[in-house]
Amino acid sequence: MVVGVLTPEELEKLKEAVDERKKLITTLRGKPWPMMKKLQTLKESQEFVEKYEGALGRGRGRKLYAYKVMMQKKWMKFLRDFENFKTACIPWEMKIKDIESHFGSSVASYFIFLRWMYGINMILFGLTFGLVMVPEALMGRPYGSIPRKTVPRADETSAMDFAILWDFGGFAKYSVLFYGYYNNQRTVGWLKFRMPLSYFLIGVGTVAYSYMVVIRKMARNANEQGGGDDTSFNFSWKMFTSWDYLIGNPETADNKFASITTSFKEAIVEEQENRKDDNIHLTRFLRVLANFLVLCCLAGSGYLIFFVVRRSQKFALAGLENYGWWERNEVNMVMSLLGMFCPMLFDVISSLENYHPRIALQWQLGRIFALFLGNLYTFIIALMDEINLKRKEEEVIIANMTLWQASLYNGTLGENNTTPVITVDPADVPRGPCWETMVGQEFVRLIISDTMTTYVTLLIGDFLRAFIVRFLNYCWCWDLEYGFPSYSEFDVSGNVLGLIFNQGMICDERAAPARLHVPAVLGSHVLQRPPGAVFKASGSNNFYMAMLLVILFLSTLPAIYTIVSIPPSFDCGPFSGKSRMFDVIQETLENDFPAWFGMVFSYVSNPGLVLPFLLLMILAIYYLHSISKTYKQSNLDLKKKLQTQNEENKKKNKRAALKAATELEEARNTLQEQQSQSNNNASNRGDRRLNDSNGTTNQIENGHTAKNHCRPPYPHRCMDRPSVPRGPGMPGYLPGLPHRPAP
């Protein structure tokens, strides 16, 4: 069809039609049609578009239009290919899908979480490595040039021992990994790279980045969730959404069936309120007892750690060489072991409490949280003690330094101005204790020992257990696989918690000056059973994100405290010689930026300005919080209104339909009566009338039934003569009746 000259309106309409078709083509895959229909529609739409697209382009800029269309097509193709490429690039996607099909989606979500954290750690490691370690290694002064970079003479012989290296002493201690190695030169190398500034900023930056990433993820999760925990459709959701369509493994399927059945049974029991607390006082007493026991446990573990750290200090003072492996690693071992056995203890104690499983899980997680937190903080406090000790040592050494220097120049102290430069081998210079490196070392040791214990328990606890169960099962009296000890379950929430705490410790250690990023534990959970009871502590992932946030915050707190209040060591690290670590910022402002900048900054950092600003932020937070509350409330109200409106509408419809039905019945009855009456009359008056009225009644009936196909049942106001079937708008037609158009 040749399209001649079109009026602008027609052109417009045509363009609209073409656009509509194009939109249809793009959304075709989301339409709930069978494939045949989709293919057909696609063909038609494409033909339409092709036919008229050329026509549209006629006249002005046809070539341009055609070109634009072609570019669009190419762009869509490119986008599609890029999406494919991106998905192919995601690491471990295959493995995770495999796990998902074998074990279900909650286990897979743990691994997805793990992967995400791994990604973040990699980014942070990249930053640190690239901007701190590499410049120092390449452009800073090499090993052995200044005292802080050299192994002291006394330790030289043992510096390469494996045991010492494993403990991060010896050569490991005097390397770019630890704080102490860094020189406090303001700029290094030909690039004039500001080393101390970079160190400080990267430290602050990594923490800030972690926060930002976690909060962004939380916000995104919150958006997706929308309503949050709603219990209004409990049973419906259980019925329609509990099956995990990703399961492709018969064992997993069996487990899933079992768990679904259990979940239903429990829900039923709850619903029937058969759980009569026969003795509420007993339950209460037991719960109080359980909490008391838990508190005792927590206090006990805290004290144990404190005690052990003190002991290790004593060992350190007496010289570590005198003690065996256990004494040296006592602190780390104790912390890791506590972290392993206390949760099991809590589990046992919680059986006293007799809570609903979801609530019990929340309590359990809360207690493990408190345990880890308590341990971490006790550890940090003990470290603080050590730091203070080291600082006192430092003062002593500073005093000694002057004496030692004097001893070097023995005899030549007379001349004040020209003291000859005596070269001393850096290894021989007496060293300050350098508490920053010590803290870094402690944390690194802790993390490594934690990882080791996890692996070992995994091997012994799970692997060996599975091994024994699988092989002894053949020659054992009861079924080992289903009874005791069976395979161990994959405790998703416990593992996630462990991951989160690992991250917290890494953050701590990063903020404190060690530069080692140990990626989180990638355990091999080969022979573990998927969790039987899938109870999540909360509906969304945000629970774990929130915990991560809290841990981050709590672990950066001590680090910030040290940065702000404790002066750095005098002879090691990039901040040596300054009175506070953040002085480096001041220095940079004074020297590297123009004068007016410094002035502006000093005005801005005036407490008179900062305090009102803080106040403003607090007020803004409060305001936003109250607004979001009101929005949520109005949302709920609207939902309720919508629901009641729907109910009203449908009730009305139902009532009307019912009414129509009853009236139809009535009409039929009266018609029957009429019929019988007129039959009687006819039989009295003779055949002719009979035939007539029969005919008419037949007609009426036929008309009635015929009309019934095309119109909704409406009452026949039957009178003596056959009435015209009434439609809407005619007198006698009941208003409000459903009026369906003829098919």
| Chain positions contacting another protein, by CB under 8 A | 25, 28-32, 34-36, 38-39, 42-43, 80, 84, 93-94, 97-98, 100-101, 105, 225-227, 229-230, 232-237, 239-250, 252-253, 257, 260-261, 264-265, 267-268, 271-272, 539-540, 643, 646-647, 649-651, 653-654
Least Cβ distance, residue 288 to another protein (angstroms): 34
Cβ neighbours, 10 Å, residue 106: 17
Alpha helices in 90-173 (DSSP H): 93-103, 105-128, 134-139, 162-166, 170-173
CB of 381 to another protein, least distance (A): 40
Nearer to another protein, 154 or 642 (CB): 642
CA distances from 408 to 74, 176, 399, 633, 645 (A): 78, 30, 15, 79, 95
Question: Are 252 and 102 a contacting pair, CB within 8 Å?
Answer: yes
Closest approach, Cβ 497 to another protein, in A, equals 21
Residues 6+ apart with CB under 8 A from 697: 674, 675, 678
Closest to another protein by CB, 590 or 647: 647
Q: From the centroid of its chain, how far is CA 273? A: 35
How far is it, in rounded angstroms, from Cα 338 to Cα 333?
8
C-beta of 728 vs 738, nearer to another protein: 738
Kindly state the tokens that stand for 389.
Answer: 């000790």
Q: CA 161 to CA 209: how far, in whole Å?
A: 38
Q: CB-wise, 449 or 541, nearer to another protein? A: 541
* C-alpha to C-alpha distance for 346 and 353, rounded to whole angstroms: 11
Q: Which is nearer to another protein, 268 or 464 (CB)?
A: 268
Closest contact distance (angstroms) between CB of 488 and another protein is 23
Q: How far is the CB of 683 from another protein (least distance, A)?
A: 46
Give the N- to C-terminal CA distance of the chain in Å, as an integer.
34
Beta strands in 336-426 (DSSP E): none
Task: Report the residue number, 202 or 247, with the smaller CB distance to another protein.
Answer: 247
Q: Shortest Cβ distance from residue 213 to another protein (Å)?
A: 23
From CA 229, how far away is CA 609, in angstroms rounded? 42
Report the residue number, 32 or 414, with the smaller CB distance to another protein: 32
DSSP-assigned letter for residue 486: -
Q: Which is nearer to another protein, 37 or 392 (CB)?
A: 37
Q: Where are the alpha helices (DSSP H) in 355-486?
A: 357-408, 435-457, 465-472
The CA distance from 125 to 517, in Å, is 6
How far apart CA 575 and CA 582 sit, in angstroms, is 9
What are the backbone angles phi and psi of residue 242, rounded to the nearest 5°?
-80, -20
Q: Write the DSSP symbol of residue 168.
A: T
Min dist CB 228 to another protein, Å, is: 8
Distance in Å, CB of 358 to another protein, minimum: 14
Whether 30 and 47 have beta carbons less than 8 Å apart is answered as no
Q: Distance between CA 149 and CA 134 in Å, rounded? A: 16
Q: Which is nearer to another protein, 252 or 556 (CB)?
A: 252
Q: Closest separation between CB of residue 443 and another protein, Å?
A: 38
Q: Shortest distance, CB of residue 258 to another protein, whole angstroms?
A: 8
Q: Residue type for 400, please?
A: N
Q: What angle do CA 301, 306, 309 make, to 5 degrees?
A: 125
Q: Tell me the closest approach of the beta carbon of residue 269 to another protein, in angstroms.
A: 9
- Of 28 and 566, which CB lies nearer to another protein in the complex structure? 28
* Residue with Cβ nearer another protein (234 or 723): 234
- Least distance from C-beta 493 to another protein, angstroms? 16
Q: Where are the alpha helices (DSSP H) in 319-356?
A: 325-328, 330-350
Query: Between residues 219 and 267, which has the closer beta carbon with respect to another protein?
Result: 267
